[in-house]
Structure 1
Amino acid sequence: MSTRIVLLGATGYTGSRTAEALVARGARPVLAGRDPARLGALADRLGGLPTAPADVTDPASVRALLGAGDVLVTTVGPFLRLGDPAVEAAVAAGAVYLDSTGEPPFIRRVFEDAGPRAVTTGAALVPAFGLDYVPGTLAGALALVEAGDRAHRVDIGYALDGTSGQAFSRGTLVSLAGVLLEPGFAFAGGRLREEAAGRRVWRFEAAGRPRRGLSVGGAEHLTLPGLAPGLREVGVHLDWFGALTPVAHRLAPLAPLIGRLPLARQGAQRLAAVVGARVGEAPSQRTLAQARTRTVAEVRDRAGAVLSRVELAGPEPYGLTAELLAEGATHAAQHGLRDVGALGPVQALGLDALTAAATAAGLHRT
């Protein structure tokens, strides 16, 4: 594998799991991060990998990691606050970029701001290449192919089973707190529109059980419309919050109003810091041992009749994210990507290659 893969944030929880998944595929990534001692220990454990110092608070150190054609994988979050230096470094170098973000405002910023500039430098930016939001993109793309040209609306539902104790990593919880008051969005009426997260609830079935998913501004709103010219509506929904789902739904209309108050967003960032100080770095061991993901896509025609349905099952979220990032990075290093600019997973790899990568990462159709 001659193309360099650089892993930024290698010593964090998701980063170290991604490093392991890359090595398991025969890659020798450059491990990059702030702490030389922790980088060295991880590099030694994984067979003497190269390391490089880099800190996103020093953008020049991140730019120094990359050359043209390199593949950068970053797990450094929260992305809305810390993600821009890696994106800018990839754009400047003309590199391939993949990340683990699930933060809708950041994903939208990559597509609308960095994407056009990436086209001019030959960079390829593929954000949210993990549980957020590869399974929904893949399920949606497969369902759209099966539905044909009558597709009018696609709904995506994410479900998580088998959690016990701490369900999410510290990084995920900090990211969720940090975007509470940020503007949301949805693809509706054939265009991207502002819409608060949690404004809608979608009832769907996964693994034979009824689910309630809260609406969010997932990457699918930005990536699926390009796959089906007649598509007019996209819904993305998370069934992750259990008994809190109806409460969050009722409070959703207040978020945009609160977000306009002076210092409200700074308050959300302080809340994120408090959350980060009080939870463990990783989910509980029982969650890691038992949790499973389910993702459903349903396509409807203009009258609301279901045209196609795809359900995917996968392993626990963090292992799945690490495996998907490793699959995406090694594919980019070996074969390149299909286009430049800001890309969805299907636009970047092609549907057949994405399906193969997802299968290798542990996703399968049920």
Structure 2
Amino acid sequence: MRIAVYGASGFTGGLAVAEVRRRGFTPVLVGRDEERLRKAAVAAGAADAEVRVATLDAPGALAGAFADCDAVVNCAGPFTSWGEPVIRAAIAAGRHYVDTSGEQRYIKRILDTYGAEAEAAGVAVVPGLADDGGPGDLIAHLTAGRLPAVEELVVADLRQPGGASRGTARSMAFVEEPLDYVDGAWIPAADHGPASLGVPGSDEEVPVALFGLPGVATVPRHVPARRVRSVIRADVAALFLGLTPDVVESVPEVLDDEARRAGRWLMAARADDGRGGRAEGWVTGPDPYGLTAVIAVEGARRLAADEGRAGATGQGRAGVLTPAQAFDPADFLDFLAPHDVTWQVSAVPGQGTTTR
């Protein structure tokens, strides 16, 4: 299996190349700078990998770089600025596509815009397949499924402050006003919501703030909730909202291995039925950047191997899809268990608990 990694010379892109090689597949590094791509190949342990130079302003060359690959993993952010040309090239080449974006409005725009083109090409496009958007969408679906009806669903990123790459800082500097989903429409988020949330697995309750997570763009497409909103820890929100161009450029381009592996991500979901019924779910794992590469490469592999949700094949998997639409949620989360990922969904007494 040949997997093209666009933005392969970046921090997350290099991890994705290494993961493609670790899985025994053939990586194809694609980007705009041949020298940087070759250095990235060596650093990823794939010195013999093929390097292809293609820029965003040359759509034909970009589609040609993807043409003989089985899937495309796009790691080049900010996606708001650079994501769509890669999607158009993947569709033109007839290749499945995933990306590692966490930018809420970008993900919504892709889900709203490219469905017909992807369906016509017979390919699946799955944006936001990273450590927040992927597991967040999957655990939200499983959590909501514990209730007969959902009045409100809150998706929360409860990870503690930690190291971030310059690419993440650049993407967060592009964060726009967050959205809520209410009564069938996406609207600017209201300035209210839960003031704090309990941290799964502990007695700790932390202040949270409204923030534009991918789940608000993705979850309403497969969960019939009246309202969907997203929050993160208030201290993390303050860090992101304080990013200025000078601060962004002062952030290290990469994290060293020790700092990267010391991080831990935690996505949670809380669903209420409006009548006192509640379900809660969470999924957590180490090494946010390393697991993003694992998640994105596995998603690309499943699309290329035609291992979709509920055994769907062929045209049933074409279009622009959320992670929970493209893949069986529990099966995908279980796949991550060897990487020290655990998850749990629980409901009010009498409705049971599932733990992994």
Taking the aligned partners of 2:270 and 2:71, their CA distance within structure 1 comes to: 33
Deviation at 1:225, TM superposition (A): 2.5
Which position in structure 2 is the counterpart of 1:214? Answer: 209
Deviation at 1:69, TM superposition (A): 7.6
Taking the aligned partners of 2:238 and 2:143, their CA distance within structure 1 comes to: 30
Taking the aligned partners of 2:218 and 2:237, their CA distance within structure 1 comes to: 31
Taking the aligned partners of 2:332 and 2:80, their CA distance within structure 1 comes to: 26
Which position in structure 2 is the counterpart of 1:365? Answer: 343
TM-align CA RMSD: 2.7
Which position in structure 2 is the counterpart of 1:48? Answer: 48
Structure 1 38/243 Cα, relative in aligned 2: closer, same or farther at 3 Å?
A: closer
Deviation at 1:285, TM superposition (A): 5.6
SS across alignment from 1:321 = helix
Taking the aligned partners of 1:326 and 1:202, their CA distance within structure 2 comes to: 36
Equivalenced residue count is 333
SS across alignment from 2:24 = coil
Write the mapping of 1:1-366 to structure 2, written as runs, cut at 5 A: 1=1, 4-44=2-42, 45-46=45-46, 48-67=48-67, 70-147=70-147, 149-161=148-160, 163=162, 167-179=163-175, 182-195=176-189, 200-206=193-199, 207-208=201-202, 209-229=204-224, 231-239=225-233, 241-242=235-236, 244=238, 271-272=244-245, 274-283=246-255, 287-303=259-275, 305-337=276-308, 338=312, 339-365=317-343
Structure 1 37/59 Cα, relative in aligned 2: closer, same or farther at 3 Å?
A: same
After superposition, give the CA deviation of every residue in 1:36-66 in whole Å (9 maximum; x if it has no partner). Answer: 2232234343252222112224333322222
Contact 2:196 2:208 in 1 (8 A): yes
Structure 1 91/199 Cα, relative in aligned 2: closer, same or farther at 3 Å?
A: farther
Taking the aligned partners of 2:120 and 2:208, their CA distance within structure 1 comes to: 39
Structure 1 280/10 Cα, relative in aligned 2: closer, same or farther at 3 Å?
A: same
Contact 1:158 1:213 in 2 (8 A): no
Structure 1 73/172 Cα, relative in aligned 2: closer, same or farther at 3 Å?
A: same
TM-score (normalizing by structure 1)? 0.82
Taking the aligned partners of 1:299 and 1:364, their CA distance within structure 2 comes to: 20
Deviation at 1:183, TM superposition (A): 4.6
Deviation at 1:102, TM superposition (A): 0.8
- For structure 1, the 5+ residue unaligned runs are 252-267
Taking the aligned partners of 2:72 and 2:187, their CA distance within structure 1 comes to: 31
Deviation at 1:243, TM superposition (A): 8.4
Taking the aligned partners of 2:70 and 2:237, their CA distance within structure 1 comes to: 44
Question: Between the two proteins, what is the percent identity of the paired residues?
Answer: 27
TM-score (normalizing by structure 2)? 0.84
The one-letter code of the counterpart of 1:43 is A
Deviation at 1:306, TM superposition (A): 4.3
